[in-house]
């Protein structure tokens, strides 16, 4: 499950400039589509025998892993990191599709992996009516398991006088105890695994009682409630749940941008623009990084002193060396966030964020 992949551990991996091979693909066709890219990289390294040798050896390690684990080709996606110089190779089958990429660099290319971890956070789907509740655990974009709670709450009846009132009170009592039982199961699940979001589907009466029964901490995680027919099949229920989930995901991106703006307006704990954000990242000051999903932000690193800057200067701004190379600055920021245990949020385009260079952050201090 890709949510279990430790980005901090991978962020700590570092080698020479082109010693690491990073491969992402979805399916056999995706892997085959990288063949041309591999040939081109090999041709471009022809003038650098040492780097060409490292590339060939790292590619051998990568191919060995794929040959020994052919089942990974059936996964929705695959990411694989290989470095012959460090005797390191690791592959991960993924439960979400990824772009087809083959890159060489001084460290694992983590940006696509960080993006799917952000996009597909673990959440619970609770589908409930008076007769039964089904609880789906969505982890790394797939349904992992399901819990059931029987309701057996009496149906509403049309009777008159005291008999009707007594029946209604009994039914309300049953519904209350049933909701408390379901809330207890949800609480237990959230203690055993992190689920920051909860989607409620089902009959409005049952869901209202359930929300009332949830502890405040769990109630605050409910991101949406929708009335649905409980005889709907699982696929329909999941489609409804994913729609609510992604609406909240986009809204959470906008809320983070609003927080950053408000902090920035009053000169508070916020940074905007790649240069200022990079400075804060290297100092370990970032709490949450916000970046436009498809942002192309270039940086430059020095081979001699490892100094990293935003932009594409021709010589190192720290030591003056002309031995510099360009990098994907968003990937560099992702690695820095892994090293400092900060969060990364990839957002659909937000006009204000685009105006400041597609990168902004909330700061710790």
Q: What average pLDDT does range 267-272 have in this prediction?
A: 97
pLDDT of 160 over the 60 cut: no
Instruction: Tell me the CA distances in angstroms from 232 to 24, 139, 207, one per residue in order.
Output: 36, 22, 17
Helix, strand, coil percentages for the chain (3-state, nearest 5): 45, 25, 30
What was the pLDDT predicted at 161? Answer: 52
CA distance 190 to 26: 31
Residue 237 DSSP SS3: helix
pLDDT of 156 over the 80 cut: no
pLDDT of 124 over the 80 cut: yes
Instruction: Tell me the CA distances in angstroms from 170 to 159, 196, 356, one per residue in order.
Output: 14, 34, 60
CB neighbour list of residue 43: distance below 8 Å, 6 or more residues apart: none
What was the pLDDT predicted at 317? Answer: 93
CA distance 182 to 18: 53
Average pLDDT, the chain: 93
- For the record, the structure tokens of 348 come out as 């659909």
CA distance 179 to 174: 9
- For the record, the structure tokens of 196 come out as 């920051």
CA distance 155 to 162: 17
- Beta strand 286-292 with 343-347: parallel, antiparallel or unpaired? parallel
Q: How many Cβ atoms are within 10 Å of 42's Cβ, its own excluded?
A: 13
CA distance 66 to 2: 18
- For the record, the structure tokens of 303 come out as 């081979």
- For the record, the structure tokens of 24 come out as 């992402």
Would you say 335 and 242 are in contact if contact means Cβ atoms under 8 Å apart? no
What CA dihedral angle connects 49, 51, 56 and 61, to 10 degrees? 150
- For the record, the structure tokens of 155 come out as 């149906």
Q: How many Cβ atoms are within 10 Å of 320's Cβ, its own excluded?
A: 10
- In the structure, what pLDDT confidence band is assigned to residue 159 with cuts at 50, 70 and 90? low
pLDDT of 350 over the 80 cut: yes
Domains in the chain with CATH codes: 1-118 (3.30.960.10), 123-232 (3.30.420.60), 253-365 (3.30.1330.30)
- For the record, the structure tokens of 29 come out as 């066709």
Residue-wise pLDDT for 304-345, tens only, equals 999 999 999 999 999 999 999 999 999 999 999 999 999 999
Q: What average pLDDT does range 113-133 have in this prediction?
A: 95
298 DSSP β-pair partners: 328
What was the pLDDT predicted at 230? Answer: 82
Would you say 111 and 117 are in contact if contact means Cβ atoms under 8 Å apart? no
CA distance 71 to 93: 9
Q: Tell me, what DSSP letter sits at residue 132?
A: E
Contacts 24+ apart (CB under 8 A), 214-218: 214/183, 214/186, 214/187, 215/183, 215/187, 218/183, 218/186, 218/187, 218/190
Residue-wise pLDDT for 226-245, tens only, equals 999 888 888 999 999 999 99
Q: Give the angle 188-194-195 at the CA atoms, nearest 5°.
A: 85
pLDDT of 151 over the 60 cut: yes
- In the structure, what pLDDT confidence band is assigned to residue 299 with cuts at 50, 70 and 90? very high
């Amino acid at each position: 499950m890709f949510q279990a992949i430790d980005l901090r551990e991978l962020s700590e991996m570092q080698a020479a400039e082109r010693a690491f091979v990073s491969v992402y693909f979805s399916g056999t066709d995706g892997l085959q589509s990288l063949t041309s890219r591999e040939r081109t990289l090999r041709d471009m390294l022809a003038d650098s025998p040492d780097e060409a040798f490292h590339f060939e050896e790292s590619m051998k390690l990568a191919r060995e892993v794929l040959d020994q684990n052919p089942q990974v080709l059936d996964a929705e996606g695959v990411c694989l990191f290989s470095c012959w110089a460090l005797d390191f190779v690791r592959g991960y089958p993924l439960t979400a599709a990824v772009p087809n990429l083959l890159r060489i660099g001084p460290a694992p290319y983590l940006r696509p992996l960080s993006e799917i971890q952000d996009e597909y956070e673990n959440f619970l789907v609770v589908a409930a009516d008076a007769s039964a509740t089904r609880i789906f655990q969505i982890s790394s974009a797939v349904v992992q398991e399901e819990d059931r709670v029987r309701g057996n709450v009496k149906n509403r009846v049309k009777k008159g006088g005291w008999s009707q009132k007594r029946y209604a009170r009994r039914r309300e009592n049953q519904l209350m105890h049933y909701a408390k039982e379901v809330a207890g199961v949800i609480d237990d699940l959230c203690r055993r695994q992190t689920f920051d979001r909860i989607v409620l589907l089902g009959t409005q009466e049952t869901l209202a009682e359930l929300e009332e029964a949830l502890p405040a901490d769990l109630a605050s995680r409910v991101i949406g409630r929708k009335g649905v027919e409980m005889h709907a099949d699982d696929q329909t229920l999941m489609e409804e749940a994913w729609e609510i989930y992604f609406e909240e995901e986009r809204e959470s991106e906008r809320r983070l941008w609003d927080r950053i703006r408000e902090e920035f307006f009053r000169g508070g704990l916020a940074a905007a623009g790649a240069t200022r954000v990079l400075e804060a990242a290297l100092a370990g000051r970032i709490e949450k990084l916000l970046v436009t999903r498809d942002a192309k932000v270039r940086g430059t690193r020095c081979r001699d002193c490892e100094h990293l800057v935003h932009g594409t200067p021709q010589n190192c701004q720290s030591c003056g060396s002309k031995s510099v190379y360009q990098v994907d600055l968003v990937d560099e920021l992702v690695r820095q966030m892994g090293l400092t245990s900060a969060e990364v949020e990839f957002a659909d385009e937000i006009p204000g964020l685009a105006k400041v260079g597609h990168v902004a952050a909330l700061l710790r201090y």
